[in-house]
Amino acid sequence: MTFDARHPEAVEAVRRALEEDIGAGDVTSQATVDADRKAHGRFVARDRLVLAGVELLPVIYELRGGVDSIELLAASGARLEPGQTVAAVQGRARTLLECERTALNFLQRLSGVATLARRYADAVAGTGCRVLDTRKTTPGLRRLEKMAAAAGGVENHRIGLFDAILIKNNHIEAAGGVRAALERAFRAGLPVEIEVRTRQQLDEALAAGATHLLLDNLTPAEAREWVRHVAGRARVELSGGISLDTVRAYAESGADSVSVGAITHSAPAVNLNFRLSLD
């Protein structure tokens, strides 16, 4: 998924964020800065990071108006060192000030996701195993966070409940078993993946024609054993408690992919700042 800052969900997220922060107006800037004062500013990386979300800056300023120019000096996915300038903007000082926190919130959060995603992707390099993100995202920001994860080098799993079938343990229980769940799912005409938690469920799924298995909460050693048992009869995804310390061991099990919720639900924000100067 490329970083599409003009996607309606992205624009709406920006609009909500600006309304949340500015409300009826930036009373501090209105009280202290002349309305016609012009200024320029730079967004600067303070950490070593993988950038994501910089393409949102033009959207932010367009929604507020009052900016004469904006130059993006790096794109989502770029690896940056401390001190590198990300973007430069020029316009009304009040506009630059009122947009500062919203812009930094998006950049710091999304770049944090991309930076952690890159660490996971680098950790499995050369294994042939793909790292996937999950639906464990901030409500209302899923598309942006998945764009950031992709910018960091991992692959997007399904976007939501609507674009692929993932049969989990509660679905199996509600459907009346592995075979019953799969038989119904196959009729939907969508990609079908099924989570299995026991060897009995694994064999039932394979016998019922499963082509994509999710193996949850195994140790790396158990994962290797289960992958050998599958013997190429289905694609295998591993999930459950996979960390940066263990992801390579899981990737070396022979699985096709590993999914990591931490990429979005636990990514720490990175440090960028905004430096304003008068024209």
**Residue among 79, 135, 136, 179 flagged as catalytic:** 136
Structure confidence by residue, pLDDT tens digits, 156-167: 999 999 999 999
Across 113-119, average pLDDT: 98
pLDDT given at position 66 = 77
Which DSSP state fits 152?
T
Q: How far apart are CA 247 and CA 259, in angstroms?
A: 10
**Known catalytic membership, residue 199:** no
Residue 3 within a domain = no
pLDDT given at position 279 = 80
Across 78-94, average pLDDT: 98
pTM given for the model? 0.96
Across 129-139, average pLDDT: 97
Structure confidence by residue, pLDDT tens digits, 228-251: 999 999 999 999 989 999 999 999
**Known catalytic membership, residue 195:** yes
**Residue among 101, 130, 135, 179 flagged as catalytic:** 101
The answer to whether residues 87 and 113 belong to one domain is: yes
Terminal alpha carbon distance of the chain = 38
Count other Cβ atoms within 10 Å, centred on residue 175.
Answer: 16
The answer to whether residues 190 and 166 belong to one domain is: yes
Of 2, 265, 259, the closest CA to residue 132 belongs to 259
Across 249-276, average pLDDT: 98
Q: How far apart are CA 55 and CA 119, in angstroms?
A: 22
User: Using an 8 Å Cβ cutoff, are 118 and 155 in contact?
Assistant: no
Range of the domain at 234: 155-259
Residue 226 within a domain = yes
Across 84-102, average pLDDT: 98
Say if strands 38-45 and 272-278 run parallel, antiparallel, or are unpaired. Answer: antiparallel
Residue 209 within a domain = yes
User: Using an 8 Å Cβ cutoff, are 207 and 220 in contact?
Assistant: no
**Residue among 168, 179, 184, 235 flagged as catalytic:** 168
**Residue among 55, 195, 204, 256 flagged as catalytic:** 195
pLDDT given at position 81 = 98
**Residue among 4, 203, 216, 252 flagged as catalytic:** 216
24 Cβ neighbours under 8 A, 6+ residues apart: none
Query: At 232, which CATH number?
Result: 3.20.20.70
Count other Cβ atoms within 10 Å, centred on residue 66.
Answer: 15
The answer to whether residues 117 and 181 belong to one domain is: no
The answer to whether residues 183 and 273 belong to one domain is: no
**Known catalytic membership, residue 101:** yes
Residue whose entry in the numeric block shows the structure tokens 């993006």: 72
User: Using an 8 Å Cβ cutoff, are 201 and 172 in contact?
Assistant: yes
Find how far residue 171's CA is from the centre of its chain: 26
Structure confidence by residue, pLDDT tens digits, 181-211: 999 999 999 999 999 999 999 999 999 999 9
The answer to whether residues 12 and 117 belong to one domain is: yes
Q: How many domains does the chain have?
A: 2
Query: At 47, which CATH number?
Result: 3.90.1170.20
The answer to whether residues 70 and 171 belong to one domain is: no
Helix (H, G, I), strand (E, B) or coil at 261: coil
The answer to whether residues 227 and 273 belong to one domain is: no
